[in-house]
A and B are shown apart, each in its own frame.
Chain A
Amino acid sequence: MVPQSYEQIRGIAMTKAGGTTLVEKQREISMAARDHRGYFVPTFGMIAARFKELRKRRGLMITLILVTIGLPSIFLGVKLILHVVSPGSYGPAGGYTVYVAMTSGVLYIFGFIVSATLGCTAGSIDISEGMFRHLVVTGRSRVALYLARIPAGLAIIVPLVAIGFAIVCLVCVFSAPTSLQFGGVTVPQGLSASSFESWAANNAQEVVCQFPLNFGPNGALKPSSLVASVVANEPCSGEPSPPSGPGGVKIGRIGPGPQFQPSQSQLVEAARFIAKSDYSRYASHFRVPSNTLMIDTGLWIELEVIVGFVVGLGLGSLIGQRTISVILMIVLQIVLTPILSTADIPHFINLQRGVVGLATAHLTPGGLPVLAGGGGGGGNPGLVPESTFAAACVIVAWLVGWTIIGAWRMKTRDA
C-alpha cells in the first residue's frame, strides 16, 4: 500500500492508501488492545519457550544431571555394592555421616556451581548466538525477556537438585548402619539419657577406656576427683587415648601399669559420669538424619541453588560471555567465599558479611557441619559472625541486586 500521492513506478502492483477496510482497521485496533508486549512481566509462553531452549542444550543438561543426580547416585551406588559384596570390610552406604558428606559436601558446593553455570548460560547465550537481536525486534520488553529466564531456569535446576537430594535421603535412611559406633564402641541406637547411662554402667570398662572425654573448662560436666583417678588409672590394654573434647582435659589415660586399682563400683560411677557428659554428642550421632533435618537441608540446598542461578544469570547478562561468567562464579564459590568467610581481615568485617556464601553458611541447618566445620544455625564458630537476620538480608540483597543488574544490562545493551 502506498500513499494516495505516491506514483507507481516500474510496473509493480501497489495498493493506494485508503484501501484499508473498516473490518481490517477494527481487527488491528483489537489486536493492538490485546497486545501488551511493552509490559515487563513475561508471559507463560515466553517462560515455556525459554525452558525448552535451555532443556534442549544436551551438553549442559548432561552436566547438570551428572552433577546433581549422577554424582550422588554413583557414589552411593558404589558404597551399596561394596557393602553387599563385603559387609565386613565396607560399612553401610547410608547413615548420618554419609548424609552430611553428600549434602554439605557435594550438593551444596556442586549444586551452586552447576546452577551458576545454568544461570550464566541463560544470561549470555542469546547474545552470543545472535538470537537476542531477533527477540528485541519483536518489540517485547527487554526486561520481560530477562525475567522469563528466571522461572525457566529454576524449573530445570530445582527439580534436578531435589531428585539428587531425594536419592541421598533415601539411601541414607534405608541403608543406614544398624548400630552406631561411638568412640569405637558399638552402642544401641536412640537411647534416652538415663538408658544411655545404664548401658554405660553395664559396659563400664569399654566406656571408661573408649568414650570421648568431654571434660574440662568447656566440657559438659566437671569430673570429681574419683572419676579423674579412675580414668587416669584404669588399665585400657594399651590403646591410645581417644580425643578429648573442646577445652581439653586435665586428666588422661596412661594405659597399662596401674598405680591405683579402682573397684567395680568406682568404675561404674566413672562410666555413668562419662556417659552423662557424652550424651549430647551421642544424641547428635543418630544413625539416620531426622525428618526435620532432611527438610531443613533440602530447603537450604535449594536456596543455595537459587542464589547460584540468579547471580549467574545476572553476571552472564552483565558480561555477555558464558565462559568468563562461569569462571568468576567458580572463583567466588571455591576461592573467595571460604577465604572471606573465615579470615580475620581488620576493618573489612562488614564487607565479609556481605558475601552471599557466608550468609548461606550461617543458615546451615543445625547439626549439619559446613565450610569451616562446627554446627550451623548461625552459631558456626569458624565463620565470621553474622546474625540470621543479617544473613537473610544479604541473601535477599544478592538476589534482588543481581536481578536488577542483569535486567538493566539487557535493557541498555546494544543488540
Chain B
Amino acid sequence: MGDTHGKAPDSQWAVETHGLMKSFGSNVAVNNVELLVPKGCAFGYLGPNGAGKTTLIRMLLGLTSADKGSMSILGYPVPKQRDKALARVGAIVDEPRFHGHLTGRENLEILATAREREARSRIGESLDRVGLTSRGNDRVSKYSMGMRQRLGVAACLIGDPQLLILDEPMNGLDPAGMQDMREMILSLVAEGRTVMLSSHLLDEIERTCDAVAIVDRGTVIRQGSISELLEGASLSFQVECSEPERAKTILQGREFGAVVEIIPDGLGVNLPTGTHKDVIAAIVRCLVNEDISIYGVQRIQASLEEWFLKVTSRLGESR
C-alpha cells in the first residue's frame, strides 16, 4: 500500500484519504474513498448502516489495515507514522467498552500511561468535562450506556487531541444524553479541535456538523459543507394562489419539468435537481399572465434527510 504523501504535519486537512479500499472476501466495505476533512470543524461522515463508516475509521486509527490507497491524519501518513499521527487523536469506535472491574478513573489511568506523561494530569479535568467527576471512582460495570459513552469521550480528552473521531457517539443515549453530547461536540469544535463524527442519524449530523461526507456502499458519493450540498437538492416552493386546479393544469401544460400538487391554499411545486431559481420567477410570471392571483411564494429548504434519501441507494427502500 502506498502510504506516504510526503506531507508535512502542517497539512490543512485533519484527515486525508486517497483511493482507500478494504474488502472482506467478496464484500467491498470501503471502495476508493477520497476524503478530505478540514481542520477545526465538525465533520459528519454520514451513511446508512453497513455503508463502511466504521471500517474507514478503523483503518484511519490503525485498528485494521487497508488493502489499497493512502491516508494521513494531521499531516502524518498512516500507518507509516501512526504513532505520531495518533498522539493527537482521540477516538471512540463502536460502543465504548472498558474494564468493568475498574473504576472510570482507573481505566483512564491505564490509557494515560500509554499516552504522553502529561495525559495523567488531564484525567480529573476530562472527567469533569464529561460530567463524571462524582462517578469517577465507581466501577465501570455500574455505569449506564450513556456514562460509558461519556467516559469514552473523557478517554479521548486525556490526550488533548487536535482531532476526535467519534463513531456513532449518540448510540444508546437518551434525548438528554444526546443533547449533552451535541453540546460537548460543539464546544470541542469551538476550542479549535476537529471532530469527525460518523453517524446514520441525519438529524444529528445536520444539527452538529459544518461539513459532511455522504457514504453509501463503501463509496463517498458527496462531500462538502451542508449548505453547499443542500443547494444541489431539488428546488421546491409553495404558491399561495387563486384557482389552484386551473393553475395546476396550466403548469403541467408547460415545459418547466415541475411536479405540481394541490395543497391547502395553493400549489406545491417541485422542480428537478439543478433547476435554476429563475424558473421560479418564470412560473410566477406564467401564472400571472393566465390571470391567476398570486398571494405569496415560499421557498422550501430541503432537509439533509430528504436529500440524503435521494442520493443514497436506500431511496427505493424508503418508499
Contact = CB atoms under 8 A, between A and B. Distances in A.
Interface of A: 1-3, 5-10, 12-15, 17, 19, 31-32, 34-35, 37-38, 43, 45-46, 48-50, 52-53, 56-58, 125, 129-131, 133-141, 145, 414-415
Nearest to B160: A31
Given A7-B225, A137-B89, A14 B61 contact: no
23 contacts: A9-B210, A12-B190, A13-B190, A14-B190, A15-B40, A17-B40, A31-B118, A35-B83, A35-B84, A37-B115, A38-B82, A45-B120, A53-B106, A130-B95, A134-B98, A135-B111, A137-B61, A137-B62, A137-B93, A139-B62, A145-B114, A414-B63, A414-B64
Interface hub of A129, A131, A140 (most chain B Cβ within 10 A) = A131
Contacts of B189: 12, 14
Interface in B94-153: 94-102, 106-107, 109-111, 113-118, 120
Nearest to A48: B113
B85 to A, nearest CB: 7
B116 A34 contact: yes
A38 B91 CA distance: 18
Main secondary structure of the interface of B (DSSP, over half): mixed
Contact of B99 (A9, A53, A136, A140): A53
* 5 nearest A-B pairs in the assembled complex, by CB-CB distance: A130-B97, A139-B86, A38-B83, A1-B40, A3-B12
B98 A130 contact: yes
Contacts of B283: none
Contact of B225 (A9, A15, A131, A139): A9
Contacts of A131: 97-99, 107, 110
B100 A129 contact: yes
Interface of B: 12-13, 38-42, 58, 61-64, 82-87, 89-91, 93-102, 106-107, 109-111, 113-118, 120, 155, 159, 186, 189-190, 192, 194, 210-211, 225-227
A238 B48 CA distance: 93
B110 A53 contact: yes
Contacts of A52: 106, 109-110
Contacts of B194: 1
Nearest to B118: A31
Contact of B111 (A9, A125, A134): A134
Contacts of B102: 53, 56
Given A3-B38, A3-B39, A48-B113, A139 B87 contact: yes
A137 B86 contact: yes
B139 to A, nearest CB: 10
Nearest to A31: B116
Nearest to B227: A9
Nearest to A47: B113
Contacts of B159: 138
A298 B40 CA distance: 60
Given A32-B87, A37-B114, A10 B190 contact: no
Given A3-B12, A17-B12, A35 B63 contact: no
A145 B120 CA distance: 17
A145 B190 CA distance: 34
Main secondary structure of the interface of A (DSSP, over half): loop
Nearest to A144: B114
B118 A136 contact: no
A2 B107 contact: no
A129 B89 CA distance: 22
Nearest to B103: A56
Nearest to B88: A28
A50 B12 CA distance: 38
Nearest to A43: B113
A57 B63 CA distance: 27
Contacts of A43: 113
Contacts of B97: 129-131, 133
Nearest to B155: A134
Nearest to A37: B83
B61 A136 contact: yes
A6 B38 contact: yes
B110 A49 contact: yes
A63 to B, nearest CB: 14
A415 B57 CA distance: 12
B101 A56 contact: yes
Interface hub of A5, A35, A50, A57 (most chain B Cβ within 10 A) = A35
B224 to A, nearest CB: 10
A201 to B, nearest CB: 68
A47 to B, nearest CB: 9
Contacts of B13: 3
Given A35-B83, A45-B113, A133-B63, 15 more contacts: A1-B194, A2-B39, A3-B13, A3-B40, A6-B12, A9-B210, A12-B42, A37-B114, A37-B116, A52-B110, A53-B110, A56-B106, A135-B114, A139-B87, A415-B64
A134 to B, nearest CB: 6
B99 to A, nearest CB: 6
B111 A138 contact: yes
B110 A35 contact: no
A136 B63 contact: yes
A151 to B, nearest CB: 14
A56 B116 CA distance: 24
B99 A35 contact: no
A37 B117 CA distance: 11
Contacts of B155: 134
